[in-house]
Amino acid sequence: MGVPALEVLGISKDFGRIIALRGVSFSVQSGEFVSILGRNGAGKTTLLNIISGVSRPSEGEVKLFGTDPSDRENKAKLAVISHEMFLYGNLTAIENLEYYSRIYNVPNPKQRIETVLNDVELTHRRFDLVATYSRGMTQRLTIARALLHEPSLLLLDEPFTGLDQHAIGMLITLLKKQKEMGRTILLTTHDLHTANELSDRYIVISKHKIVMDGLMTDTNPDAIREKFFSAEAGGIDS
């Protein structure tokens, strides 16, 4: 095995008096698909923000492909899909994607833009301002924008939110394709069956720590739900 795609080394994060993460460590090999599971407030988004370099840990460090997340080369290797859309409402879909193609130096941008728009089924709305899109359409364009530069590591924070059943199927197919291409993927979701369908491995965070880290084939989603998401266990990890 070569250098891991991702190493999370003893990460803790506090927001003033609020504890978000405590001593979280794991590593992910290239090509692995890992689902991060946990109740509301468990620390999943905080973890992805630290991995992508948006937020700094209070303690510990992260390595992407063996180096610091802030390394210029890592920016080109990474894609983030989160609640932040990173899209300009006053530009059309095409204009947004042209802008990101320039930032990421995407080769053959015209062709690549056509491909990603087709992948998320937005070709027919490509000349419309993003401000006029529905929520699900905006989410689809966010996915197209993230995949545009063919990143090696994808960080997906609840990417199914706001998508209809058809679009959920479309994203699942896209993610399976990404996996076949050898991309490394970290996904947070509350949909344990989708996590099971897509991932090789799952990590459960509870009360700011990793409480389970195992292979999907060795478990079943209902057992995880029963243990960590049941009504008796409470709804929020604060």
Ligand X SMILES: Nc1ncnc2c1ncn2[C@@H]1O[C@H](COP(=O)(O)OP(=O)(O)OP(=O)(O)O)[C@@H](O)[C@H]1O
The one of Mg ion, ligand X, none whose footprint includes residue 143, by CB under 5 to 8 A per kind, is none
Alpha-carbon span 100 to 109, nearest angstrom: 10
* Residue 161 binds to ligand X (criterion: CB under 6 A): no
Given 45, 49, 194, 199, the residue binding Mg ion (CB under 5 A): 45
Q: How many chain residues are in contact with ligand X, going by CB under 6 A? A: 12
DSSP assignment letter at 42: S
Region binding Mg ion by CB under 5 A among candidate stretches 3-11, 36-44, 60-68, 168-176: 36-44
> Collapsing DSSP states into helix, strand and coil, what is residue 186?
strand
Q: Alpha-carbon distance 142 to 58, whole Å?
A: 29
| Residue 6 binding partner per list ligand X, Mg ion, none, with a CB distance cut-off of 5 to 8 Å that depends on partner kind | none
Among 31, 41, 53, 109, binds ligand X (CB under 6 A): 41
Strand partners of residue 62: 8
Instruction: Report the partner that residue 20 touches, choosing among ligand X, Mg ion, none (CB closer than 5 to 8 A by kind).
Output: ligand X
Query: Can residue 46 be called a binding residue for ligand X (CB under 6 A)?
Result: yes
| Residue whose token pair is 């709305």 | 125
Q: How far is CA 34 from CA 73, 100, 129, 194, in A?
A: 23, 27, 35, 12
Which residues form the interface with ligand X (CB under 6 A)?
A: 15, 18, 20, 38, 40-46, 238
